[in-house]
Amino acid sequence: MDIIKINSKFKWMANWIISHRSVVIGVFFAFIAFSFLGTKRMIMKTSFDDYFVSDDPMLIKTNEFKSIFGNDYYVAVLVKNEDIFSAKSLKLIRELSNELKDSLSYAEKVTSLTDIEFSVGTEDGMTIEQIVPDEIPTDQASLDLIKKKAYSKPYQAKKLVSKDGTMTWIMVKLRPFPEDSVWKKTSDIGPDMITGKEAGLIAHKEKYAALSPSVSGMPYLSYEKVQYMKSEMGRMMGFAFIVSIIVMLIVTRSLRGVIAPLLTSISALIIGFGCIGWLGLYVDMTTVMIALILTFACSIAYNIHLYNFFKTRFVETGKRKASIIEAMCETGWGVTLSGLTTMAAMMTFLAMHIVPMRAIGINTSLCLMAVLLTCVFITPVVLSFGKDREPSPNMAKSFEGYVGKHFEHFGSLVLAKHRSIVAIAIAITLLCGIGLIYVEPAFDVEKTVGRKVPYVKSFLELCETELGSMYAYDLMITLPNDNDAKKPENLQKLDSLATIVDGYKLTKRHNSVTDIVKDMNCTLNGNDMKYYKIPSDADMVAQLLLLYENAGGTESEYWMDYDYKRLRLQIELNSYNSNEVELEMEDLQREARKLFPDAHVSTVGNIPQFTVMQQYVERGQMWSMLLSVLVIGIILFIIFGSWKVALVGMIPNIAPAIIVGGMMGWLDYPLDMMTASLIPMVLGIAVDDTIHFINHSHVAYDRCGNYEKAINMTFRTEGMAIVMSTIIISATFSGFIISDATQMSNWGILAVAGMVSALLADLFLTPILFKYLNVFGVENRKE
């Protein structure tokens, strides 16, 4: 491509913009207003199901499971009190249970100490009663009787009350959440979020304080996560805002130099998010956070390039409009290329089979496009207001001249010490390359967010109690024929699977239809524990289930489908260790296949989803990284028309990718949704400076025909901008480091490391590679 021709096009465009600035401003404000309306249409996704693309086998399996067994999400409340069997506690537990049942929008059924299907065997039959009577007694003898009854069925008691009588577990099963198209008509908050919010509001009412309630379940976890992320995002954006203003003030030493980038950044964000809203694209807290911070950082960086050139020329000439036009002419193409390569790198996220990762790619690309548009059209307009000045009498004595001179010296030094620099670069890259082997994915809240965050701390503490549980998964067994599921031999096999599950380290408890059948059998036989087993007669099983339903029991359909073809075994976990649980799930499936050789066996629920997602992230991360390298290389080749230039553009940028990956391995930073976004993003941004460097060196080399001179000239004009843009981007990203959430702080550290290593690679390696590879032609011939 002929850079001089392209630059002249930018010059023409800048001329047009400045002479039609009222038109540009008018169109811009109309666009901003339109976009602002679009931002109101954005709906935050929160459900983990939304992470999967619509044809994903895991999602299809989950949806099939939900259509059969209902919603696998639940909310639960752990109640703690010195004595849960006191009249006061029982009254409050009943009140809380009733309120959860009546006031949770999606509540289907509540199981609690005061609201449970409880049948007791008698000499001539059975009696159906409540553990806690309608009228709660106040005398100690009656309260003791309630306590005795609560512990009378040990298999039921262990799911309901703690051994010491200080805790009880209130479980709220949820009805299926409606389709997006249904709930969006009446609400802009998803059903899981509403459920989490309502559960929190109810449980944390002052009147229940004596019960010290702790809420559990994925809807509440998601809600708390969003709330935390919202406050954290505000804090970090505030930090980024202040830091960038300080850095810009130092760099530009002018109010206009601060206002122009901030104005374009904010406008670009409104336009970008407005487009996302109008297009109805996927957004969640993580994708928004990355898009926000990246857009903000890039916008300021692009502006700095433009402003730096403008300022230098303005100081030299004193002519405002002419300086803007020249700045656009010289840096417009570089800025555009920077934006395009970053967008191309971000678009490689589309290779991932994960909706939020794809959204990061699309949403950030849209925002970056908005940044480019505002930077090219609006920044020149903002800078054009104001008067001309007297030109600086001695440019060399100005700040710009002083810094430029030092950068020039630096360029000479780099070329002189090329051997040591290359050796050090290879050593660091190798060391980090080894670290890449140790990168491990993780999705559990302890590893990714960490105990420093209050909501995570309380969740983990809840899980460590005798009753509390947060994560669960299901084993679904699909038998060959209808009615197979109620055959005694199959139920007995399911029961033996449950015994195997009991032996797993992570099991807190399990639930299945066998609990109901065994309970009914035991009850009908005078509470004799020797009958707490699956009867061997098929008709007996069917009749017990019928009796259960006739007695008002509604739980059986949660565990066995209408065709009596599918069985469900739910395993609640005491903690989540991604590797351990994967092994346990594999073992359980293996055992299930042995016991049910003709059946289809699969695990479903959040934990298997996490496991699959981890595999996607691992695979996707690799693909995305390779693709971004390839795409950027191709773009550089197309732009500069030379494989050598493309190679030189790539080498200093692969190094930071390896350094980021290596740090993750050596420092044990897990690969999660946020860190997975890093390498392609760092590649996309890091290459910007390389492009600026190549662009200017190319022009300089064409003018002087000498590599050393060309490199020194580039350092003089671009050195400051390259360093400053990296400092600003790093400073913006560094806001994440102060976060208490592990994944955010890791992201911040790695992003800054990536940016700094990219800068060092650009400053030290790129000039050396220019000379080594004679990228713009052989010097002698040119001279």
Partner 1 sequence: MKTKHFALLLTALMAVCNIHAADISGRDIMQKVKNREDGDTRYSTIEMTLIKKSGQKRIRKLESWAMDIDKDTKKIMFFTYPGDVKGTGFLTWDYDDTNKNDDKWLYLPAMKKTRRISGKSSKTDYFMGSDFTYNDMSTRNVDEETHTFLREEILDGHKCWVIKSVPKDKDEIYSSRITWIRQDCLVSVKAEYYDKLNKLHRRFTASNIKIVQDIWTTGVMNMENVQTGHKTIIQIGNPKYNVKVEPTLFTVTKLEKGL
- Whole-angstrom distance, CA of residue 608 vs CA of residue 593: 17
Range 527-534 contact pairs with CB under 8 angstroms and sequence separation of 24 or more? 527/120, 527/121, 527/152, 528/121, 532/155, 533/495, 534/488, 534/491, 534/492, 534/495
Q: CB of 534: closest distance to partner 1 in angstroms?
A: 13
Q: CB of 58: closest distance to partner 1 in angstroms?
A: 19
Handedness of CA 309, 311, 312, 314 (dihedral sign): positive
Q: Exposure string (b/e) for 536-545, b if CB count within 10 Å is 16 or more?
A: eeeebbeebb
Are 649 and 632 a contacting pair, CB within 8 Å? yes
Nearer to partner 1, 173 or 311 (CB): 173
Are 329 and 695 a contacting pair, CB within 8 Å? no
Rg (the chain; Cα; Å): 32
Nearer to partner 1, 11 or 487 (CB): 487
Are 346 and 632 a contacting pair, CB within 8 Å? no
Q: CB of 173: closest distance to partner 1 in angstroms?
A: 11
Q: CB of 145: closest distance to partner 1 in angstroms?
A: 15
At what angle are helices 513-524 and 538-550 packed, to 10 degrees? Answer: 90
Nearer to partner 1, 287 or 556 (CB): 556
The partner residues of 52 in beta bridges, in order of sequence, read 354
Q: CB of 80: closest distance to partner 1 in angstroms?
A: 26
Token pair in block for residue 128: 């159906």
Nearer to partner 1, 542 or 773 (CB): 542
Nearer to partner 1, 546 or 638 (CB): 546
Nearer to partner 1, 226 or 544 (CB): 544
Nearer to partner 1, 121 or 213 (CB): 121
CA nearest 442: which of 280, 638, 606, 577? 577
Q: CB of 542: closest distance to partner 1 in angstroms?
A: 4
Q: Which residue has the tokens 């690309």?
A: 365
Nearer to partner 1, 412 or 543 (CB): 543
Nearer to partner 1, 120 or 266 (CB): 120
Contacts of 348 (CB under 8 A, 6+ apart): 361, 623, 624, 625, 627, 628, 631, 680
Nearer to partner 1, 281 or 542 (CB): 542
- Whole-angstrom distance, CA of residue 327 vs CA of residue 512: 71
Contacts of 303 (CB under 8 A, 6+ apart): 260, 261, 264, 265, 375, 379
Q: CB of 122: closest distance to partner 1 in angstroms?
A: 7
Q: CB of 356: closest distance to partner 1 in angstroms?
A: 28
Site of interaction with partner 1 (CB under 8 A): 67-68, 70, 98, 102-103, 105, 108, 122, 124-129, 175-176, 483, 486, 524, 535, 537-544, 546-547, 549-552, 554, 556-557, 561-563
CA nearest 229: which of 739, 750, 751, 738? 739
Across the beta sheet with 566-573, the strand order is 507-511, 566-573, 472-478, 600-604
- Whole-angstrom distance, CA of residue 350 vs CA of residue 356: 10
**C-alpha dist (Å) from residue 552 to 117, 302, 482:** 8, 68, 24
Q: CB of 273: closest distance to partner 1 in angstroms?
A: 32
Q: CB of 563: closest distance to partner 1 in angstroms?
A: 6
Contacts of 523 (CB under 8 A, 6+ apart): 119, 120, 121, 126
Q: CB of 543: closest distance to partner 1 in angstroms?
A: 5
- Whole-angstrom distance, CA of residue 442 vs CA of residue 680: 19
Nearer to partner 1, 433 or 488 (CB): 488
